[in-house]
Structures are given as C-alpha cells and as structure tokens.
C-alpha cells in the first residue's frame, strides 16, 4: 500500500471537526491522507462548547458559545443532522418562542424598556409603566421597518446598508433615532456579537432571511419569521445536549470511517512552510508542557485570524509572513484593543462569557424572567453620544427558558462584546457565583462581513483546484468561521469548501430534494466567497469540479508565479537546522509538479492584488457604527448635561 500523505488540522471547533468528517468519509481522500487534528481544549467543540453545570441536584448542559441554529439559515447543518448516523447521536429541539427583552437606563421616572412578547408590552401607555418604549410611534416604526424588509430585495435594496436607508428613509418614520437606538441597535448588537450595531455593514440581504415572513412549503416545517421586534421569533432549534454534542458526533462518525489522530489539550505555537520542499512543520506544546513538532504535506488552520497571525509569524516563516500573510492575515489586537503590529487586517472583536447564578446581573426593571435573553444597557449609561453606551452593554440568557426546564431557574449565561473589568466599574457577575468563564475572539454574524479581508483571503490560500495569479505554494490553508460567516453553518460550509478546494472532496450532502438543493446553493455561495469565480467560464469550470464523478484537477499544480517566488526566496532564506535536513534540490521539487496543469494555471485571469485600503476602511466604519445619535429625549438630556458643565 502506498504511504499516505499527511494533513494536520489545527483547531477542533465545528470547522476542524467537520473537515475531519468530510475527509474521513470520502473514499479517495481517506485512502490518500493520514489526518491529525490538534486542539487546545480537553474536548472538541471550540466556540460550540457546552459545560455540564451542577445545579439544583442535577447537571445542566449550558452552552457558553453557540445557542441556536435554524434549518432555514443553516441548511447544511440541517441536512447533516437528518442523516441516520447523526440523528441517532445528536438530539435537537425546536425553539419557537425566541423572546427578547431590552432594558435601558431610566430617564427620570420614564422607564425605557421593551420586549417582543406581550409580558413586556403591557401598560405601555399607563403612568409608571416599565415598558414605555413600546409606544404608538415605536409600533408604527416597527411595522414600517418590517414591511420594508419584506419588499427590500424585490425593489433592489438587497445590497444597500441600513445606514444608507436611515440616512434618507424612503418610507416615513415617526421617530427614527428612537427606533435605531432602542430597537434596532440592541437587536443587531445581539446578532453581531454584542457591542456593535454595524449599521453601515449590515445590508437588507442580511436581514431578509431573519425578518421576512417567507412563504415556504409547509412540508419543510420551518416557520418564519425567525426574528421580530413585536413577536417572539420562530423557526429556531437548539442542540438538546448542547452544541458540543454535534461537534463530538462529527468526530465520532469520522472515526467509524477511518481512524485518525486527535491530539487534545495541545496548543499549536508555530507553523511554517519549507520553501524548497513545500513541507509544512507544525510545532505544539502538549498538556505536560512538552514541545512537539511534526511535518505535514498540508496544514489547514481553522483557528481565528488573530490566532493565525501568532502562529504564522515565526522566525522560520519570515519569507511567507513578509510577502504574503502580513498583508492578508495581518496582526491581532490585545484584550484592550491595542494592535499587536501593523497592519491589523481583520476587525475581529474580543468578548467574554460567564455561566453564573448571580441574578443581580439582570436589569432590575426586567424581573419577570419570561424572556429567553435579556439585552442589558441598564448599567451602560453615561456617554456623550447618547444615554447609554452600546459598547458597554451585555446580554444574559435565562437558562430555565433556554433549556425549557424550570429546574434550571437561577442559572444564567452572560455574554459581553468586550473583556469586562469590575475595577473599571463594569458590571460583572459575583465571582463566587461563577461556574465557568471563557474569553473569545469572534467575527460578525452578518454575511456582509464577508467584504474586505474575507474577499481577498483566497490569495493567501495554498494551491488548490482553482488557481489564482499571485498565490504561493505554501500548502497552508484557511477555513473557519472567519472565512465565511460566524455561525455553525459558516463553519461547516467553510470546511466543505476547503475539503473540495484542497483535497478534491465532492460536496457530501447532496440528496435530490428541494431542501437539499437549497443546502447545496448555500454551500456554493460560501464556496464562491472563499474561492471567487473570476468569469463565467471559471464559474462553470469550478461548478463542474464540484459535481459528482468529476476528477479533481491540479490540486498539486503550482502556478509559475508562485514557483518563481518560491525559488527567489530560497536564495535569500536562512534555513534552520530542522529545515535544512528536509531540503531537497529545487530541481527535484519542480520535477514532481505535473506540467500540464501548470500550463493550464497560467491561463487564469489576473486579479488585482488586494489593497490595504479596504481593510482599513472596514476597521474605521466598524468603529463609527458604535456611535449613535441620541433619541430626541436623550438629546435634550445631553444638552442639559453640557449646560450644567459650563
Ligand atoms: C458567544 C458566542 C455565541 C455564539 N452563538 C452562536 C449561535 O447561537 N449560533 C451559531 O450558529 N453560531 C454562534 N456562534 C458562532 C459559532 O460559535 C462559530 O461560528 C463556530 O462555532 C466557529 O467554529 P470554528 O471551528 O470555525 O471556530 P472555533 O469554534 O473558534 O474553533 C477553533 C478552535 O481552535 C482552538 N484553538 C485556538 N488556538 C489554538 C491553537 N493555537 N492550537 C490548537 N487549537 C487552538 C480553540 O479551542 C478554538 O475554539 C457564537 C459564537 C460565540 C463566541
């Protein structure tokens, strides 16, 4: 039997494990590749992490990251879960009462709160009501916005941003700033990962699948709309035993096809490519603090882009760092938002989650606890730009409602879009009541966040079955939610796209029924984001490559540009002892490349190289959106405050 080639997958979240599954179940790839997955936690999961929390004499599976999925927005996850090997392992519950409540700092005796269900809409017009935001103006504006979303795609507004819309609303609003500040911004902040409304990056095509009531066939059984400002959201699901159960199932199912090596509790510290051989070395520290290393034919990084920056910028990888990754991956930021180098290409965010039992984290105005989750700006008052500071808000999931289990009463999950610090006056759970805490970095859920760095990343991908001028022969690939959208579907689809591009694995979830065609469509959308088609011919060719029975084309091909760059680099590069050992002659390396595919690669359309401008623009706009115009009432308050100061 010929020796297998070796692939290392870095990161055991949904993406890494989905890739493990896709490679293991594919008859050709599993024969060809020996797989090692290295992950820095004690179980697979990543952001799909579930903690078993002891409470009231029982153990509750509380998700510290992923909370909900939906068949509508996550068709490939849905397709996978329908398969016997998964339906027998992963339980999923429907969740058709996604109730959201929002609390704000009161303005005098005026309580500014609302909820999208009757409990928090009552008595809005009575003196002393806690929920005065659900007033007649607001109800009219909610109706206007939801009605516009329904028609937005039909009338050509799909790619326009919410900022463009509210700069000059085509339909009349009673009190647009009140609607934006107290209804839309909190909702978008929850969707986008807290602390940012991103009006100028969110388009109507992002919101349409969430807020439109879609006429889907009843047999699909996906009620809509998923999101609403005036009613509970419908059509959601949650993993009964937590999101980890899905990731663990993918890992278990993969092992039934072909055994692979899963290295847990181990932190990958450096990855570099030998410029002569194309072999990739991975270095990691295991749980006993031992340093390990291994050499692979391909490495797929499923870690976020800021982690990738730390891993790729090492002394053995300086050629590729300086000439490739600095531009497309760039540096990260520390927990206080300070750049770790220049440029910062990916505008990710820091955040933190706590599982706790501290009920004082709930807003004192929203103590009915009927909601699934509570957006809390009550403790975020006092900026010059409004009467609450969106960046200092947090959201608490009430576990008895999330888990639909009264015994979980008193258990909470609180999520921040920053790293809170009690010493700075941030409201944090009482440390004696915290069961688990986890800091994380993340992208943004809205697919429009694909613009900018995401759209350029293909140029930093190792070579695959679509080639682009300017790529280098690194044998390092990027998958993960940063490359598509920050969701379980984004994670799965990015894994399937890399499996196809770098390993020739065909789309594995095809069944010829309407639902699965939709899943396939979603996959092609994300595939195209990661590996854009440059013209119609290219589009057809790459679609053809995805169809069953089609042989994989040119995965090992090295476009001449890439080869020239690799050669030139070899002259100037200082090789480490380890690297020198593995070096083979340049002649031998180039002789192993198939000539026909090389020639084919030269024909590709030349794309303009990525400009840094787009990345910095994204960064700037992201910042801008957190500043909000105050509502009428608030403006008065700010003016009053200023006058006092003077
Ligand atoms: C708080 C929160 C709530 C969310 N809610 C939802 C939701 O309700 N629905 C939804 O669909 N999505 C949600 N998401 C998004 C979803 O969790 C992610 O998009 C998805 O899980 C990402 O999977 P991934 O494998 O791409 O990345 P990750 O899950 O981040 O996996 C990568 C993993 O690699 C590991 N790693 C990092 N560095 C190293 C290293 N040096 N060496 C080895 N391993 C390393 C880490 O453990 C890391 O977690 C949420 C995310 C967060 C953070």
Nearest to residue 209, comparing CAs of 454, 521, 594, 475? 521
Give the pLDDT score at 560: 27
- pTM for this structure? 0.84
Other CB atoms within a 10 A radius of the CB of residue 532 amount to: 16
Other CB atoms within a 10 A radius of the CB of residue 28 amount to: 14
Residue 443 has pLDDT above 60, yes or no: yes
CA of 46 to the centre of ligand 1 (A): 5
Distance (Å, whole) CA 214 – CA 434: 41
Tokens found for residue 290: 């031992």
CA 14 distance to own-chain centroid: 11
Distance (Å, whole) CA 178 – CA 188: 15
Contact 442, 347 (CB under 8 A): no
Q: Which residue has the tokens 């699965």?
A: 516
Distance (Å, whole) CA 523 – CA 178: 38
Distance (Å, whole) CA 322 – CA 320: 6
| Averaged pLDDT, 236-254 | 98
Residue closest by Cα to atom 12 of ligand 1: 487
Residues having CB closer than 6 A to ligand 1 are 10-11, 13-16, 38-41, 46-48, 65-69, 267-268, 302-304, 307, 353, 415, 440, 442, 480-481, 486-488, 490-491
pLDDT tens digits, one per residue of 580-591:
333 222 333 332
Distance (Å, whole) CA 471 – CA 451: 20
Residue closest by Cα to atom 31 of ligand 1: 13
Residue 421 has pLDDT above 60, yes or no: yes
CA of 482 to the centre of ligand 1 (A): 10
Strand partners, 285: 267, 291
Distance (Å, whole) CA 224 – CA 218: 11
Peptide bond into 337 cis (omega under 30): no
State the Cα torsion 152-155-159-163 to the nearest 10°: -60
Q: Three-state secondary structure along 92-112?
A: EEEECCECEEEECCCECCECC
The number of the ligand 1 atom at minimal distance from the alpha carbon of 74 is: 11
Residue 628 has pLDDT above 70, yes or no: no
Pocket probe mutation, ligand 1, options 17, 40, 47, 64, max atoms within 8 Å of Cβ: 47
| Averaged pLDDT, 590-599 | 31
The number of the ligand 1 atom at minimal distance from the alpha carbon of 47 is: 29
The number of the ligand 1 atom at minimal distance from the alpha carbon of 307 is: 38
Pocket probe mutation, ligand 1, options 14, 38, 65, max atoms within 8 Å of Cβ: 65
Angle between helices 514-530 and 488-503 (to 10 degrees): 70
Contact 113, 138 (CB under 8 A): no
For the chain, what is the mean pLDDT?
82
Residue closest by Cα to atom 53 of ligand 1: 65
Residue of higher predicted confidence among 218 and 280: 280
CA of 346 to the centre of ligand 1 (A): 16
Read off the pLDDT band of 610 (50, 70, 90). Answer: very low
Residue 565 has pLDDT above 90, yes or no: no
Radius of gyration of the chain (CA): 25
Residue closest by Cα to atom 16 of ligand 1: 487
CA of 438 to the centre of ligand 1 (A): 12
The number of the ligand 1 atom at minimal distance from the alpha carbon of 284 is: 42
Nearest to residue 187, comparing CAs of 147, 145, 228, 158? 228
The number of the ligand 1 atom at minimal distance from the alpha carbon of 49 is: 29
Q: Express as a percent the part of the chain with pLDDT over 90.
A: 64
Residue closest by Cα to atom 3 of ligand 1: 65
Read off the pLDDT band of 329 (50, 70, 90). Answer: very high
CA of 49 to the centre of ligand 1 (A): 8
Residue of higher predicted confidence among 22 and 451: 22
Residue 608 has pLDDT above 70, yes or no: no
CA of 1 to the centre of ligand 1 (A): 37
Listed range (47-61, 112-126, 462-476, 595-609) with the worst mean pLDDT: 595-609
**Angle 470-472-476 (CA atoms, 0-180°, nearest 5)?**
135
Pocket probe mutation, ligand 1, options 20, 66, 284, max atoms within 8 Å of Cβ: 66
Read off the pLDDT band of 557 (50, 70, 90). Answer: very low
Cβ-in-10-Å burial (0-12, 13-18, 19+) of 303 comes to: buried
Highest mean pLDDT among 19-23, 116-120, 173-177, 208-212: 19-23
Listed range (126-135, 289-298, 572-581) with the worst mean pLDDT: 572-581
Read off the pLDDT band of 569 (50, 70, 90). Answer: very low
CA of 277 to the centre of ligand 1 (A): 32
Cβ-in-10-Å burial (0-12, 13-18, 19+) of 136 comes to: exposed
Look at residue 148 and give its three-state secondary structure. Answer: helix
Give the pLDDT score at 362: 96
Distance (Å, whole) CA 348 – CA 335: 11
Give the pLDDT score at 617: 28
pLDDT tens digits, one per residue of 393-420:
999 999 999 999 999 999 999 999 999 9
Which domains does the chain show, CATH number per domain? 1-51+76-91+242-338+449-600 (3.50.50.60), 52-75+236-241+348-447 (no CATH), 112-216+617-645 (no CATH)
Give the pLDDT score at 637: 33
Residue of higher predicted confidence among 464 and 621: 464
CA of 339 to the centre of ligand 1 (A): 22
Residue closest by Cα to atom 26 of ligand 1: 480
Instruction: Please report which helix (H) or strand (E) contains residue 76, including its range.
Output: helix 75-82
Read off the pLDDT band of 442 (50, 70, 90). Answer: confident
Pocket probe mutation, ligand 1, options 9, 12, 13, max atoms within 8 Å of Cβ: 13
Contact 362, 604 (CB under 8 A): no
Listed range (88-92, 474-478, 586-590) with the worst mean pLDDT: 586-590
271: CB partners within 8 A, 6+ apart: 10, 280, 281, 282, 283, 299, 301, 311, 312, 314, 317, 476
Contact 220, 82 (CB under 8 A): no
Read off the pLDDT band of 128 (50, 70, 90). Answer: confident
Read off the pLDDT band of 2 (50, 70, 90). Answer: confident
Strand 261-263 and strand 33-38: the pairing is parallel
CA of 34 to the centre of ligand 1 (A): 24
CA of 13 to the centre of ligand 1 (A): 6
Pocket probe mutation, ligand 1, options 11, 45, 304, 355, max atoms within 8 Å of Cβ: 11
3-class SS shares of the chain: helix, strand, coil, % to 5: 40, 20, 40
Residue closest by Cα to atom 52 of ligand 1: 65
């Amino acid at each position: 039997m010929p020796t297998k080639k070796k692939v290392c997958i870095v990161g055991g979240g949904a993406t890494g494990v989905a890739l493990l599954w896709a490679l293991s179940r594919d008859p050709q790839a599993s024969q060809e590749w020996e797989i090692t997955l290295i992950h820095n936690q004690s179980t697979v999961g990543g952001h799909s992490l579930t903690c078993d929390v002891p409470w009231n004499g029982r153990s509750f599976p509380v998700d510290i990251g992923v909370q909900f999925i939906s068949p509508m927005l996550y068709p490939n996850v849905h397709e996978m879960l329908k398969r016997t090997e998964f339906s027998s392992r992963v339980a999923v519950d429907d969740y058709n009462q996604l109730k959201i409540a929002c609390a704000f700092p009161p303005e005098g005796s005026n309580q500014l709160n609302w909820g999208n269900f009757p409990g928090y809409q009552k008595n809005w017009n009575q003196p002393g009501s806690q929920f005065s935001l659900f007033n007649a103006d607001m109800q009219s504006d909610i109706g206007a916005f939801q009605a516009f979303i329904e028609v937005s795609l039909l009338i050509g507004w799909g790619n326009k941003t919410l900022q463009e819309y509210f700069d000059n609303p085509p339909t009349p609003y009673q009190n647009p700033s009140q609607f934006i500040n107290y209804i839309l911004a909190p909702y978008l902040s929850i969707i986008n990962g807290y602390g940012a409304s991103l009006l100028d990056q969110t388009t109507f095509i992002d919101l349409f699948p969430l807020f439109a009531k879609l006429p889907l066939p009843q047999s699909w059984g996906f009620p809509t709309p998923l999101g609403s400002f005036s009613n509970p959201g419908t059509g959601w699901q949650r993993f009964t035993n937590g999101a980890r159960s899905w990731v663990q199932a993918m890992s278990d199912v993969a092992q039934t096809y072909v055994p692979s090596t899963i290295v847990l509790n181990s932190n990958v510290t450096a990855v570099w490519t030998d410029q002569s051989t194309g072999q990739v070395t991975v270095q990691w520290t295991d749980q006993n603090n031992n340093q390990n290393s291994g050499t692979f034919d391909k490495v797929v990084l499923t870690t976020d882009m800021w982690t990738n920056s730390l891993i790729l910028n090492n002394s053995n990888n300086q050629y590729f760092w300086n000439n490739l990754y600095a531009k497309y991956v760039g540096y990260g930021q520390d927990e206080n938002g300070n750049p770790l180098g220049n440029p910062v290409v990916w505008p990710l965010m820091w955040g933190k989650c706590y599982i706790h039992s501290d009920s004082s984290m709930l807003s004192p105005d929203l103590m009915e606890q009927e909601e699934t989750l509570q957006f809390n700006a009550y403790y975020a008052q006092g900026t010059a730009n409004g009467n609450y500071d969106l960046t200092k808000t947090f959201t608490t999931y009430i576990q008895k409602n999330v888990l639909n289990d009264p015994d979980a009463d008193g258990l909470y999950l609180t999520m921040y879009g920053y790293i809170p610090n009690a010493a700075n006056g941030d409201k944090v759970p009482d440390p004696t009541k915290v069961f688990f805490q986890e800091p994380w970095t993340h992208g943004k859920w809205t697919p429009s966040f694909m613009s900018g760095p995401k759209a350029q990343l293909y140029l930093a991908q190792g070579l695959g079955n679509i080639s682009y001028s300017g790529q280098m022969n690194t044998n390092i690939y990027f998958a993960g939610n940063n490359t598509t959208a920050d969701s379980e579907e984004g994670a799965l689809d990015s894994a399937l796209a890399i499996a196809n591009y770098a390993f020739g694995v065909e789309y594995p979830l095809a069944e010829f029924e309407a639902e699965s065609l939709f899943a396939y469509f979603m996959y092609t959308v994300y595939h195209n984001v990661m590996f854009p088609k440059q013209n119609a011919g290219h589009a057809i060719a790459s679609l053809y490559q995805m169809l069953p029975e089609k042989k994989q084309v040119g995965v090992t091909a090295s476009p001449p540009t890439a080869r020239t760059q690799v050669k030139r680099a070899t002259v100037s590069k200082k090789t480490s002892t380890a690297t020198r050992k593995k070096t083979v002659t340049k002649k031998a390396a180039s002789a192993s490349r198939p000539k026909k595919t090389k020639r084919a690669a030269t024909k590709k359309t030349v794309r303009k190289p990525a400009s840094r401008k787009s990345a910095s623009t994204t960064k700037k706009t992201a910042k801008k959106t957190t500043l909000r115009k105050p509502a009428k009432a608030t403006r008065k308050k700010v003016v009053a405050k200023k006058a006092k100061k003077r």
